[in-house]
Amino acid sequence: AQSVAQPEDQVNVAEGNPLTVKCTYSVSGNPYLFWYVQYPNRGLQFLLKYITGDNLVKGSYGFEAEFNKSQTSFHLKKPSALVSDSALYFCAVSRTGFQKLVFGTGTRLLVSP
Partner 1 sequence: DTGVSQDPRHKITKRGQNVTFRCDPISEHNRLYWYRQTLGQGPEFLTYFQNEAQLEKSRLLSDRFSAERPKGSFSTLEIQRTEQGDSAMYLCASSATGDAFFGQGTRLTVV
Nearer to partner 1, 101 or 110 (CB): 101
Burial of 78 (0-12, 13-18, 19+ CB in 10 A): buried
Whole-angstrom distance, CA of residue 98 vs CA of residue 85: 28
Short-list 20, 27, 1, 7, CA closest to 63? 20
Work out whether 42 is an interface residue with partner 1 (CB under 8 A).
yes
Work out whether 106 is an interface residue with partner 1 (CB under 8 A).
yes
Work out whether 31 is an interface residue with partner 1 (CB under 8 A).
no
Name residues contacting partner 1, limited to 55-94 (CB under 8 A).
90, 92
Q: List interacting residues with partner 1 (CB under 8 A).
A: 4, 32, 34, 36, 41-46, 49, 51, 90, 92, 96-106
